[in-house]
Amino acid sequence: MSYDLILRGTAVLPDGPVENAWIGITADKIAAIGTGDAPSAAAVHDCGEDLIFPGIIDGQTHACSYGGLPGIRSTTRSAIAGGVTTIVDMPYDNPAPLNDIARLTDKVTAIQQHAHAHVALYGTILPGQSPEEVAPLIDGGVVAFKISTFESSPTRFPRIASDQIFGIFNALAETPLPLGVHNEDQEIVRAYIAAAKAAGHNGIEAHSASRPPAAELAATAQFLELGASAGAHAHIVHLTTARGFQLVDNYLADGFRATGELCVHYLWFDPDRDGQELGARMKVNPPIRPGQIDALWEEILSGRVAFVSSDHSSWPIDNKFTDSIFDAGAGVPGLETLLPAFYTAADERGLDAASLTAEQLCERPAKFFGLWPQKGAIRIGADADLAVVSLTPQTWNAQTAHDELRWSPFDGRRFNITVSRTYLSGQLAFDGKAVLNQPGDGRYVRRGPSHWFE
């Protein structure tokens, strides 16, 4: 027996890191895992003491919000450079969202043409559509659906009324697919923004206050109850406070399917500390709130966070340079920083950063989106998607990042690790310097049979 490739290093296996390990790859699969001397192989890549993670899965990416479907190219290139081998892309593409089979076909075609990394897809339903239209999209392989209770764009990111939300939940009730929500109450947010503007507030410090926790929590509570009424899986794509996770937990305790997700920037930034420096560069919705970081880590450690994602958006920086914070675009680039940022934040708290990373950025999103067991862990028979990091500290430099956006809220921040290699489908796709693989090497990934809830 001879493998196509043997990769050597410290493998972060499901039970924990194993030093002096090797991973045998045949074609695009992990065929064997061992320790000590390795069998023969066509090629051997020795990563020394670097940590070999399963390929990172970003459960929340907006690849096409700005540049449309071709945005897949730069986004997935950035992903690969960040050790992210699979993105779960949101449906709010420019100029129109993924809401029917034609658009799904177009997007799959674009993936085949542009993708450096694997891509799984969220679908959505627009106002006026029948909830039954989820069926062909499910057949087409989407992994989840998403809607918003707040309108960011009437055509691309519209508010979905509660009757339609309930309709979609009913259509999904017999399936394992979650319906995710951008959870902000439109009436409260619009009223508070109007009040802030009327009062002449226009800096980043006004942003969090203009979208108070009540706006987020009221939308969350309503959405969870609609999901419970239908018996479907309700998922909150970002919660910014511990109260949100308590709400989700109450639904679990009552026997319903409910989950909540966290994005890595909520674990890193605090407007009271970082607002003056970052301004609109830390504007996301729902906003990062003051003084939440410790409580959110508690939620992770108590197991109440489904997984952690990037919520990556490829906005050009011009989108942020506005006179008023309320005119600035919301969202930040984050794919390339997801892995080092999460690992570093855990490490700085004295936690077992390797295991937490494998759990929150690999295993949990894989199970959540039906990608398990092909993805999400270094295990026999799994896809040979791998992220390798060296324990070399670095200072993040947005100018040299591979998304070519040349800005990031993490610019100048210190990370404890550096992504040294990324393997996609058994091929070296990033060598620590350059993205080596080609557009189209990434594949469209369909939802499989794994379930989050039994």
**Contact footprint for its own copies (CB under 8 A):** 1, 11, 13-16, 18, 21-22, 24, 26, 29, 31-40, 161-164, 166, 185, 187-188, 190-192, 212-214, 217-222, 224-226, 228-230, 243, 246-247, 250, 254, 373, 377, 379-381
Question: Is the CB of 225 or the CB of 411 nearer to its own copies?
Answer: 225
- Provide the minimum distance between the beta carbon of 71 and its own copies in the complex, in angstroms, as a whole number: 33
Question: Is the CB of 30 or the CB of 142 nearer to its own copies?
Answer: 30
Question: Is the CB of 95 or the CB of 128 nearer to its own copies?
Answer: 128
Determine the 3-state secondary structure of 361 from DSSP. Answer: helix
Question: Is the CB of 246 or the CB of 394 nearer to its own copies?
Answer: 246
- Omega into 178 within 30° of 0, i.e. cis? no
Tokens of 322: 């506005």
Burial string for 67-85 (b: 16+ CB within 10 Å, else e) reads bebebbbbbbbbbbbbbbb
Question: Is the CB of 286 or the CB of 439 nearer to its own copies?
Answer: 286
DSSP E strands in 126-236: the ranges are 144-148, 178-182, 233-236
DSSP E strands in 321-402: the ranges are 386-390, 394-395
- Provide the minimum distance between the beta carbon of 165 and its own copies in the complex, in angstroms, as a whole number: 8
- Provide the minimum distance between the beta carbon of 109 and its own copies in the complex, in angstroms, as a whole number: 33
Question: Is the CB of 163 or the CB of 323 nearer to its own copies?
Answer: 163
- Provide the minimum distance between the beta carbon of 9 and its own copies in the complex, in angstroms, as a whole number: 13
Burial string for 180-210 (b: 16+ CB within 10 Å, else e) reads bbbbbbeebbeebbeebeeeebbebbbbbbb
- Provide the minimum distance between the beta carbon of 159 and its own copies in the complex, in angstroms, as a whole number: 10
- Provide the minimum distance between the beta carbon of 116 and its own copies in the complex, in angstroms, as a whole number: 27
Question: Is the CB of 140 or the CB of 260 nearer to its own copies?
Answer: 260
* 8 Å CB contact between 116 and 83: no
Question: Is the CB of 355 or the CB of 394 nearer to its own copies?
Answer: 355
For residues 417 and 390, give the distance between their C-alpha atoms in angstroms, rounded to a whole number.
6
- Provide the minimum distance between the beta carbon of 237 and its own copies in the complex, in angstroms, as a whole number: 18
The residues, any chain, with a CB within 8 Å of residue 239's CB and separated by 6 or more, are 183, 216, 220, 245, 248, 260, 261, 262
Tokens of 403: 């998304």
Question: Is the CB of 102 or the CB of 301 nearer to its own copies?
Answer: 301
For residues 357 and 343, give the distance between their C-alpha atoms in angstroms, rounded to a whole number.
6
* 8 Å CB contact between 52 and 378: yes
For residues 315 and 395, give the distance between their C-alpha atoms in angstroms, rounded to a whole number.
22
Count of positions (residues) in the chain: 454
Q: How many helices (H) and strands (E) does the chain have?
A: 13, 19
- Provide the minimum distance between the beta carbon of 291 and its own copies in the complex, in angstroms, as a whole number: 16
Tokens of 379: 């295990």
The residue among 67, 90, 114, 61 whose CA lies nearest residue 338 is 61
The residues, any chain, with a CB within 8 Å of residue 285's CB and separated by 6 or more, are 150, 152, 182, 184, 211, 330, 331
In terms of DSSP bridges, do strands 394-395 and 414-415 run parallel, antiparallel, or are they unpaired? antiparallel
- Provide the minimum distance between the beta carbon of 426 and its own copies in the complex, in angstroms, as a whole number: 14
For residues 278 and 283, give the distance between their C-alpha atoms in angstroms, rounded to a whole number.
9
- Provide the minimum distance between the beta carbon of 331 and its own copies in the complex, in angstroms, as a whole number: 24
- Provide the minimum distance between the beta carbon of 207 and its own copies in the complex, in angstroms, as a whole number: 17
Question: Is the CB of 1 or the CB of 198 nearer to its own copies?
Answer: 1
Question: Is the CB of 349 or the CB of 413 nearer to its own copies?
Answer: 349
